[in-house]
A = this chain, B = another copy of it.
């Protein structure tokens, strides 16, 4: 996986440095991270500005993706660096569950792109609701 990272950077004329590797590593965690979580998780080793720079570069090269999560956004590795998946988010406790591409979903998505003459490059599906636990907890009266 680090190889693919190195290769992707090289091809674009950038090098795989320690800071970049660290940021990449921090994003390999299972759950998407807030920019702030990311910055603090590596702040001992890497400067804030450098984290931002790495994130900007990674996003530009399609290495990471941002997903909207209420008012905040989160970062996670893109499909090429982690299996393609989507998110199911609980509107109450905000837990995020990843799920695989539904069957035949590709057909639907490519059909949409095709009908507008687009060349499909990527897609994302976000589902929101209440998780089992939060359904139980009654709203505070």
Interface residues of A (CB under 8 A from B): 59, 66-68, 71, 73, 86, 88, 90-91, 97, 99, 102, 105, 108-109, 111-113, 115-132, 135
Contact = CB atoms under 8 A, between A and B. Distances in A.
Contacts of A67: 68
Q: Name the prevailing secondary structure of the A interface residues.
A: strand
B117 A131 contact: yes
Nearest to A91: B121
Contacts of A102: 108, 111-112
Contacts of A131: 116-118
A5 B115 CA distance: 34
6 contacts: A59-B71, A99-B116, A105-B108, A119-B129, A122-B127, A123-B125
